[in-house]
Amino acid sequence: MSTTTSPLDDDPTSFFDSMLNELPRFPYGNFGWEQVDVSAVDREPNLLRHTHDYAEIVGEKTPALYAFQTVRLMDFYPEDFTTLAAEIAPEAWRLLFYAGVYSQEMLSHFRFHPYQELIRLCDPSGPSTDVPAEFIGTTETANAVAAQIQYLIREKGTDFAKATWSVLSLAQRLSLTKSEVLKCQWWSPLWIRALNSRLNSGS
């Protein structure tokens, strides 16, 4: 058996740095969207090789459609999105991003309750607290961040949870890299609107 190791094997910090310093596809803030390569957003690695493409028949929602529907929700319920953008800290958004799997389709299912699911995902003793501190960009422990967001969701209630779920669904549908999760303001209503304008501009 080979004992050859990579320099990265001996220095996990260097490995994290390479992921967190990757050049983002999206602007950090509200400017520079005209440079975004729209086609790059749709190019995703096929991690699950398959023969039968069920998604093609059922209908797979594109990132552009996710962005469009998120903005529609923001237009209908602006106070929900304004509140969550102001109340949820950046490190909590990042922890939530890594804590679960989110999709807009789940919001239409009558048996699904995002409030309960987010409370579960934010359990300070659960697996979400295994996320490295470098990924969420804070000196606080993941346990402390999880406890804070769980308390906030309990306090704010169901509509707050629905809006939070929809933002996380969009972020995951974009297949954000670790660098983008850390550096971009992907939970900001202004950022989401700029993204939607770029993806659905027709250019």
Which of 38-42, 151-155, 198-202: highest mean pLDDT? 151-155
- Number of Cβ atoms within 10 Å of the Cβ of 32: 12
The encoded tokens of residue 115 equal 């409030």
| pLDDT at site 47 | 53
Output 164 or 21, whichever has higher pLDDT.
Answer: 164
Q: What is the DSSP string of 48-115?
A: S--SS-HHHHH-PPPHHHHHHHHHHHHHH-HHHHHHHHHHS-HHHHHHHHHH----GGGGG-TT--HH
pLDDT digits (tens, 9 = 90+) for 12-28: 556 556 667 677 777 77
